[in-house]
Chain A
């Protein structure tokens, strides 16, 4: 025993625990001998911090600091350690002294994130007490990335959170998927909550500089408090607020240049003309290009429509507060030119957060976030996809300066030239967004608080599309100009009434919440259209200037949800923690008899490292084991799917007058109810080497049943294009999440660093579809036993090189040498529909994120990278389509089979495709796996004198999407389509952050 004790004593790390152990052992004998500890808590700038939570580890007794940062706490003598924690600061565990002066450092790294306060649904919890799986991203990590959109800041940061940038358009917002796709019926997006208000409009246009932190509730035990809206996880965004006794001005500016991250290799004009000639000749027609070599290199249309685009971003914030009030005002402006010519996004944002404490115990808070953004462009996406189709034999511009236009057989004379698409249409997409939340919070009795808040969100989308009249040549003619104006606006109103109570009774601490919430959402749309504008003048692009073919459209939809919520968090000795939540939801989307849903959760955590038997484990600093179970729902399926109705619009003409036709356009199912998701999960948080080495491991089993699904019904019903919703399917997502971090950041050294890697494995499988019904689409199927939207089709088995090979193979109608040989899977000697099989998943199974920061004296460097594996994508898109080989220009066509032995992976090109080479098959699939260096930022912190007005100044240079390693043939493996899309950008920029 004594030698062992000596060994422990040698390990400095274990000393605090040893002391704790000693105290624990003597506790029974010293019980009742209380002492009073006092102290003061300040930030690194020596300014007092108010509201810092001060909690004794052992007894859980606690208090908060006053406005001078002072506290006083009566503790049993058994208490040896006190934890100081404050939102936005690193927590600190300090040994008890009579007079404790504690300096908390601003939270900027994971090393000291052991006990930050974490935002959970309808409240906050100390990270230590969190029993569910919650991931957090701090504002610091966002600053290190200078992202356009808040969603991008999440990419690669948290295991199990997949962020996909589906478009490189400056106005686009990425999609977020948490722990795999949980549904194939209702909306699969996570719930987004901004400062306690559920938003229906995502994270678009929220200024990243206004964000303090983001919590992601990944499992049901964390998210169940959001019940019917939390099945796909919850993203909680907390904006910045002012702090008492402070007055800060933050300025952040950056400017840079974007360019397309990848250009697809294309055919030159000579190659194009040669290949098109072959396509026509194989189809039995004459060769359209007499002398292909005369065209030389020709035009690479991507060079014509992409550019180096400028961007500038300015953010200004004033934050501070006095004893009775705090304020925060944030102003943001961003001007981003798109990488496609003639596209530009302008964005302005304003945030105003005020807190007033007029009376003791009463706090009134207002949160306002407003933004306006406008995207102006031609048809950027069409310009990109036609750039993959337009013939390189055509010059971009004719000698007289007019657009080069297809003029002969073999050139795509029916489609618009890429430059016409990019430059001529006048499109503007304006988004106005405002969110205001007024909250009153009153402490009725010590520990008993009542909070009531009302939130109103307004969102408007304002679209102008003007197509001028023009005539540039074949396929590029519009006789009469037209204008479409489309305005959609939505109101989202919420009230929350919350009663919270926390109480510490000896070793027992309770944290309880009960509440009522109501949410009402209304969407309206108004569209006007007119044609025949006599001129294309910008000032005449209003409806009044048109003269023909008026069209007006408009509709309204409304839905409401009413909920009762409750949560009980109980801790014994602050190391055995139980949490239970319940939400009861009632939604207008379901019939009264199926309207109410109950969503409970139970979870527990055990902080093992606090146990006496763990004390002698050398090197271990912290160990927590978590497990949880919860039920969640999803009601996001449009507004009134259960109601039978008769729809207008089935019109006809009698005697040259339009007559309105009405009919029910689908079957209805009054019995539909919530999708239900049940999650079981367990996790371990373990820190070693004085918290330098940190592990988080989670396992989850997420099971969704009663998936709200438009189960395809036979065409003979007559309504198969609008099938009824049914609670029909079941899906499981099972996976592991593993996060490891190592670093010493936060320590007072010249060289500090922090490296984090997270890895996610997710297995998605449909476990049941009602009556074995499959969701069958042209290229994909969702069936029992496979992952959602698995690719389905024939298996390509090379190319028939000659007639003998065809004769020797299974019978394949129409096959000629050069056509794709499909595999006879059932060995019946005929290639038929029964030779189709599952070809691959459309979703990744593995993903990883890497984040690293290094600081040396005044320099800092941060790097992040992401990767995904396991997904396949469809490559049948513009530029790659063998069925329209006369108007495709991807360089892949050089691999075309042109005679025996020339190719075994790309078929001959033949008009009419007699072998149906273009059928759904593995020929048209490619892996979407990728590794991407997402972000590199190198900063230098200027030395500032403490007396100077300038508190902080940092300059940096940075790059985004520096490179991507992938075999995907399209613009970018993350984008939704191969080429019919707005491509991703690579960005180089420099910026400065100043604190005054």
Chain B
């Protein structure tokens, strides 16, 4: 009996031994924050995370590469009739609970957060853990990206909270800042990037932000700020760098066959077949709905309008950029005839649509990159900056360079055009050259300012309310969560 008692006592001791220590568990699969941001490799990984958001800053976490607002906020592109959230924005009858607007707000501010996180942590790291020049280059890249996200935020919402550092649980709320504050920070960030980024990369670093990209976006920003001389300066330095040029084959810019080309000033990089969620979904999201041109059948989310198709010149020949950018009924792609089965506009988006044949092993995602700042755009921005300074004759040759691309070869414009005629020419050229590339909605807002309503009404958008529909609504759920610090946009 005594033995049994001792046995039990021993057994129970055994059961309880060493258990206290087990209560201090470390999570698997993640790194404690105190062990990170120690090495250059950590810093590089932190910067990669900021680039990661470029693959999707519009809609959720899954549909990579989809960017809808700049085109939907114009007469160029409409959405699938069943995609009510997009359709309502395009028709200017959206409400403040629009799910995709909400999602864009969250993803763009996530980009800002990731950038702020990287800036703060890398700045704190000692210089001696970096190779020479690496710390400043990495900070330059992150500042460029923060500028990109912040610029997009003010483009979409005008006034919004300007987040300049990472927030925390005790510090969750910020009021809206005026657009000029955004512009100032974007300028500052781009200047920081400009002074610390290399002109180009080789080898494993291709795809990172360059000095040329910073200059091009500065040029764009200065045009928004109505400072054409400063814009021209920046854009000229891109042109004079000698790094960039136009590629001969216009269509090759959008089908994945000519990536990180000499025309690429800044390009969002994708890769399919990796299992790491870095593929481009736009192929199936925008390909004609259900016609089997791409794997997944095509969902036809965004489709060009007749108004855009009519913008293309037809004489002396049809502008070749039309058939390179847009499917029309009867067009054959990868052996399949486009029929427009789901009553759309009769047209479909062709840019970034790659066929199953081109990505043989991956059913849905594609590797096709999206060049979001092309040299052609730099030329047109430069032309705009010159024209705005009253130099239309100097501007025209740059428009003509774009028109003279061998695969396009549209006739040159006369250098004798008036300033307003040149502006019209630039507007036309941007609309056709950069169609379906998320430009025109913002361009219209820059060109028309407070007269945008007249323009939109002339295009049949009778619901458009001047002073309200220049911007998206601040999401209602964000206003509800903000404890009164966020106010609705004008008119919403």
CB < 8 Å neighbour of B206 from A413, A644, A654, A776: A654
Structural contact, B342 and A646, CB atoms closer than 8 A:
no
User: What's the minimum C-beta distance from B409 to chain A, rounded to whole angstroms?
Assistant: 31
Q: Indicate if B489 sits at the interface (CB-CB under 8 A).
A: no
Q: Which of B20-28, B132-140, B311-319, B379-387 faces chain A?
A: B20-28
Residues in chain B within 8 A of chain A (CB atoms): 4-5, 8, 11-12, 15-16, 19-20, 22-34, 36, 42, 44-55, 61, 81-82, 84, 87-88, 91, 93, 95-97, 99, 102, 105-106, 109-114, 116-118, 160-161, 163, 166-169, 172-174, 203-208, 269-271, 273-278, 289-292, 295, 297-299, 341-343, 356, 361-363, 463, 475-478, 480-483, 486
Structural contact, A413 and B290, CB atoms closer than 8 A:
yes
Query: A718 and B208 in contact (CB under 8 A), knowing A414-B297, A452-B11?
Result: no
List A contacts of B27 (CB < 8 A): 557, 639-640, 643, 645
Structural contact, B33 and A646, CB atoms closer than 8 A:
yes
Complex alpha-carbon distance, A669 and B168, angstroms: 10
Q: Indicate if A459 sits at the interface (CB-CB under 8 A).
A: no
Complex alpha-carbon distance, A283 and B342, angstroms: 13
A-B residue pairs, 10 tightest by C-beta: A718-B113, A551-B275, A661-B48, A661-B49, A650-B49, A911-B81, A645-B30, A413-B290, A495-B15, A663-B49
Structural contact, A477 and B297, CB atoms closer than 8 A:
yes
CB < 8 Å neighbour of A667 from B96, B169, B277, B295: B169
Structural contact, A531 and B361, CB atoms closer than 8 A:
yes
Structural contact, B167 and A716, CB atoms closer than 8 A:
yes
User: What's the minimum C-beta distance from B16 to chain A, rounded to whole angstroms?
Assistant: 6
List B contacts of A442 (CB < 8 A): 4-5, 8
Query: A560 and B343 in contact (CB under 8 A), knowing A652-B278, A714-B478, A716-B174?
Result: no
Query: A720 and B106 in contact (CB under 8 A), knowing A286-B343, A409-B343, A549-B273?
Result: yes
Query: A280 and B114 in contact (CB under 8 A), knowing A497-B12, A654-B269, A715-B478?
Result: no
List A contacts of B476 (CB < 8 A): 833
Q: Indicate if A518 sits at the interface (CB-CB under 8 A).
A: yes
Complex alpha-carbon distance, A559 and B26, angstroms: 10
List A contacts of B81 (CB < 8 A): 283, 285, 886, 911-912
Within 8 A of B (CB), among A612-657: 639-640, 643-657
Structural contact, A558 and B12, CB atoms closer than 8 A:
no
Structural contact, A640 and B24, CB atoms closer than 8 A:
no
Structural contact, A655 and B174, CB atoms closer than 8 A:
no
Structural contact, A645 and B361, CB atoms closer than 8 A:
no
Q: Which residue of A lies closest to B361 (CB)?
A: A548
Q: Which of A475, A479, A495, A592 lies at the interface centre, i.e. has the most chain B CB atoms within 10 A of its CB? A: A479
Structural contact, A724 and B169, CB atoms closer than 8 A:
yes
Q: Indicate if A797 sits at the interface (CB-CB under 8 A).
A: no
Complex alpha-carbon distance, A886 and B343, angstroms: 11
Query: A659 and B91 in contact (CB under 8 A), knowing A480-B361, A654-B205, A883-B84?
Result: no
22 A-B contacts (beta carbon < 8 Å): A409-B341, A409-B342, A414-B297, A442-B5, A479-B356, A518-B19, A532-B361, A555-B28, A556-B28, A640-B25, A646-B36, A654-B208, A662-B46, A664-B117, A712-B481, A714-B172, A716-B163, A716-B167, A774-B480, A778-B99, A912-B81, A919-B97
Query: A778 and B167 in contact (CB under 8 A), knowing A409-B343, A478-B363, A662-B36?
Result: no
Structural contact, B278 and A653, CB atoms closer than 8 A:
yes
Structural contact, B480 and A661, CB atoms closer than 8 A:
no
CB < 8 Å neighbour of B48 from A288, A454, A650: A650
Query: A652 and B52 in contact (CB under 8 A), knowing A664-B117, A721-B61?
Result: yes
User: What's the minimum C-beta distance from B21 to chain A, rounded to whole angstroms?
Assistant: 10
Complex alpha-carbon distance, A323 and B12, angstroms: 28
Structural contact, A912 and B84, CB atoms closer than 8 A:
yes
List B contacts of A655 (CB < 8 A): 203-207
What does the 1/0 interface line of A699-722 toward B look like (CB < 8 Å)? 000000000000011111111110
Structural contact, A715 and B109, CB atoms closer than 8 A:
yes
Q: Which residue of A lies closest to B36 (CB)?
A: A646
Q: Which residue of A lies closest to B273 (CB)?
A: A549
CB < 8 Å neighbour of A652 from B30, B51, B82: B51
Query: A516 and B363 in contact (CB under 8 A), knowing A559-B25, A778-B99?
Result: no
Structural contact, B36 and A452, CB atoms closer than 8 A:
no
Structural contact, A588 and B269, CB atoms closer than 8 A:
no
Besides A646-B31, A647-B29, A918-B84, 19 more A-B contacts (Cβ < 8 Å) are A413-B342, A414-B299, A442-B8, A452-B8, A474-B291, A480-B362, A482-B363, A562-B23, A588-B23, A643-B26, A645-B32, A657-B271, A660-B48, A661-B49, A663-B46, A776-B480, A778-B99, A883-B84, A912-B84
Query: A440 and B11 in contact (CB under 8 A), knowing A562-B20, A911-B82?
Result: yes
Complex alpha-carbon distance, A919 and B44, angstroms: 44
User: What's the minimum C-beta distance from A322 to chain B, rounded to whole angstroms?
Assistant: 22
Structural contact, A495 and B52, CB atoms closer than 8 A:
no
User: What's the minimum C-beta distance from A515 to chain B, rounded to whole angstroms?
Assistant: 10
Structural contact, A659 and B48, CB atoms closer than 8 A:
yes
User: What's the minimum C-beta distance from A518 to chain B, rounded to whole angstroms?
Assistant: 5
What does the 1/0 interface line of A24-45 toward B look like (CB < 8 Å)? 0000000000000000000000
